[in-house]
Amino acid sequence: MEFVLETMTFTYDVVVIGAGHAGCEAAVAAARLGSHTCLITMDMNKIGQMSCNPAVGGIAKGQIVREVDAMGGYMGIVTDRTVIQFRMLNRSKGPAMWSPRAQCDRGKYIWVWREVLDGIDNLNIWQDTVTELLVCEEGESRRVTGVKTQLGVTIQAEAVILTAGTFLNGLLHFGPVKIPGGRVAEPAAYQLTESITKHGIATARMKTGTPVRIDKRSVDFSQMDVQEGETDFHTFSFLNSPRPLRQLSCWTCYTNEQCHDILRRGLPESPLYNGQIQSIGPRYCPSIETKIVTFPDKEQHQLFLEPEGESTNELYLNGFSSSLPMDIQVEALKQIPALRNIVIYRPGYAIEYDFFDPTQLRHTLESKVIHNFFLAGQVNGTTGYEEAAGQGLIAGINAHINCHGGEPFTLRRDEAYIGVLIDDLVTKGVDEPYRMFTSRAEYRILLRQDNADARLTEKAYQLGLAQRERYDIYCQKREQIARILDFAGNYSIKPALINNALEQLDTTPLQRGCKLLELVGRPQLTLENLAPHIPELARTLDSINERKEEVIEAAEIQIKYSGYIERERIIAEKMQRLENIKIRGHFDHACLSSLSTEARQKLTKIDPETLAQAQRIPGVSPSDINVLLVLMGR
């Protein structure tokens, strides 16, 4: 069969550059909403590649994945299908801090993503490297028109989403050895950054790194502590997809002084400390050499040895990210008893890459400089698969909206961690790779992992992204939770009938009657440990046929933390009043002499949409906000 190039369509609604975690979610969202979409990747065998640890979730990151899933994204589904260890972190703390985390099979994660993409209507994949962003100048404004590729192909598009990760002018550092690349053994992308910055979009360099990979057969596990996973009802997807793969253990051990001495000996050859690397590095995921310099009195650092797959011998050494020379890395590791005889697949390395100033973006992740040009993921200065996926989802939705009409779609800080993430990026910018933490969210008790569907699924269904099956599951869960809350709020408990049980459950007997709702608020009591003593409660819980444990947990959280939840909701509603005061276009901030000089500069640069966003800009004081309030009143 003769291949005729002219028969191929090189005109699309949306083009997505890069098929990592941001690119995959962006392409799927745009295509499923109805945009004819092209996903461009250098290597179709590396779609959804986990460049560092093959793990999804973690503190605050797990909440983002659940939000992506609640919106109809696929990261949670793909994770559940490829998980080899699942844990719920922070169980000893309140539910606002509970964060799911999964260790995945790296290879299977890629191929499950390929299956997802291959099954999406309106979505084509093109293997190539983009070298130029095509932009049309219309007076003083600019609009994207498509891209050019290394193969000489011009692809026209109404909207373009850049999700190139660490590939833009990427440079790998193995001690003094420098190798161009976007990941180990993968080429970097050149020319594209320059074709973007010439239009006035600011760029800078960032640095991240990854640790050594170890052959499992060379490890003495008797010298390590085992860390088992959990097998309860929790999953990432609200569709409750099963875990088909064999569940595996992880292990922990510690560095020691002998290991640290060798690492210190290698510091003169460290790219981080000899001037070879000048770019911004991560503060919250530091290299092992940074740890020993920052904490010189600390005698040991914990390491986690984690499997890369269900059947591979390759292990990931979490906590030992390094760009030191290979011989220093290996010699230092051999001072740890469990790793005395290690054999490695490859050493750790650092990578430098280009990113763009996210304050030049709108909350939709569209560039303020080039119309219909969107950026998502590490190109915005973030780090982490989960942060990338959340941005990709929002960029894909809004790229589709820009092509076909509709109101811009954004999420507020009290609606989602994704909203916190994007607002932080576009309002505050970044001075280091941005990583999400629960502490960044002022309304984190509203943004729990258990209620992501209650916050977002209806929005996504109205948008057309969440399918009917997902919406029906959410509605059923909502009705079942309401049934439990209604029963608990109306059922009266008499002391004579429950006090013996309360003593058995190690809690104070009742002096007077109360509603069940009040009783469940006690820390020692749960709906399930009370059910054997209250037949009506047992019947209510038994009436829940599907997702019983998930529903009970969600209802119980609402009961136990109702006071905190309500207080935070009131605070959020007060702040929403400032969110409703639109200021963009009302002022020439540079001319407002009643504002401080710093406020004028910051407000001119960021051009906030609302008064609430202006309030969050570093350098804008409460008195500056009061000035704007007075001016808006006029």
For residue 340, the one-letter residue type is R
Q: Which of 457, 475, 509 is the last residue of a domain?
A: 457
Q: What is the CATH number of the domain that holds 225?
A: 2.40.30.260
- List the beta bridge partners of residue 136: 143
Angle between helices 468-490 and 452-463 (to 10 degrees): 140
Confidence at residue 507, expressed as pLDDT on a 0 to 100 scale: 96
Residue 412 placed within a domain: yes
User: Do 215 and 194 sit in the same domain of this protein?
Assistant: no
Distance from C-alpha of 179 to C-alpha of 173, rounded to nearest angstrom: 7
Residue 574 placed within a domain: no
User: Do 255 and 320 sit in the same domain of this protein?
Assistant: yes
Q: What is the CATH number of the domain that holds 388?
A: 3.50.50.60
Distance from C-alpha of 549 to C-alpha of 509, rounded to nearest angstrom: 27
Residue 626 placed within a domain: yes
User: Do 220 and 148 sit in the same domain of this protein?
Assistant: no
Q: What is the CATH number of the domain that holds 590?
A: 1.10.150.570
User: Do 27 and 163 sit in the same domain of this protein?
Assistant: yes
Confidence at residue 7, expressed as pLDDT on a 0 to 100 scale: 45
User: Do 69 and 155 sit in the same domain of this protein?
Assistant: yes
Task: Collect the ranges in the chain with pLDDT lower than 50.
Answer: 1-4, 7
User: Do 449 and 490 sit in the same domain of this protein?
Assistant: no
Q: Which of 567, 590, 609 is the last residue of a domain?
A: 567
DSSP per residue, 167-208: -BT-EEEETTEEEE-SBTTB--B-SHHHHHHTTT--EEEEEE
Residue 508 placed within a domain: yes
Confidence at residue 9, expressed as pLDDT on a 0 to 100 scale: 58
Structure-block tokens of residue 626: 């009061």
Instruction: Please give the radius of gyration of the chain, using alpha carbons only, rounded to the nearest integer.
Output: 26
**Alpha carbon separation from 571 to 112, 393, 577 (Å, rounded):** 42, 28, 10
Burial of 574 (0-12, 13-18, 19+ CB in 10 A): exposed
Confidence at residue 634, expressed as pLDDT on a 0 to 100 scale: 53
Residue 2 placed within a domain: no
Residue in this structure with the two tokens 């949670």, named with its chain if needed: 76
3-class DSSP string for 247-260 = CCCEEEEECCHHHH
Kind of pairing between the strands at 177-180 and 154-162? unpaired
- List the beta bridge partners of residue 154: 148
Burial of 151 (0-12, 13-18, 19+ CB in 10 A): exposed
User: Do 202 and 55 sit in the same domain of this protein?
Assistant: yes
For residue 284, how many other CB atoms are within 10 A of its CB? 11
Give me the number of domains the chain comprises: 4
Q: Which of 395, 428, 457 is the last residue of a domain?
A: 457
DSSP per residue, 471-484: HHHHHHHHHHHHHH
User: Do 218 and 163 sit in the same domain of this protein?
Assistant: no
Helix (H) or strand (E) holding 173: strand 171-174
Q: What is the residue range of 314's domain?
A: 209-350
Q: Please say whether the beta carbons of 394 and 24 come within 8 A.
A: no
Q: What is the CATH number of the domain that holds 526?
A: 1.10.10.1800
Name 1's Cβ contacts closer than 8 Å, sequence gap at least 6: none
Structure-block tokens of residue 420: 């916190």
User: Do 275 and 408 sit in the same domain of this protein?
Assistant: no
Confidence at residue 393, expressed as pLDDT on a 0 to 100 scale: 98
User: Do 100 and 220 sit in the same domain of this protein?
Assistant: no
3-class DSSP string for 273-284 = CCCCCCCECCCC
> How many H-runs (helices) and E-runs (strands) does the chain carry?
21, 21
User: Do 436 and 474 sit in the same domain of this protein?
Assistant: no
Structure-block tokens of residue 355: 């990113």
Distance from C-alpha of 232 to C-alpha of 100, rounded to nearest angstrom: 12
- End-to-end CA distance of the chain: give it in Å, rounded: 72
Residue 528 placed within a domain: yes
- List the beta bridge partners of residue 514: 493
Confidence at residue 4, expressed as pLDDT on a 0 to 100 scale: 46
For residue 141, how many other CB atoms are within 10 A of its CB? 10
This prediction's pTM: 0.95
CA 191, distance to chain mean position in Å, is 28
User: Do 127 and 43 sit in the same domain of this protein?
Assistant: yes
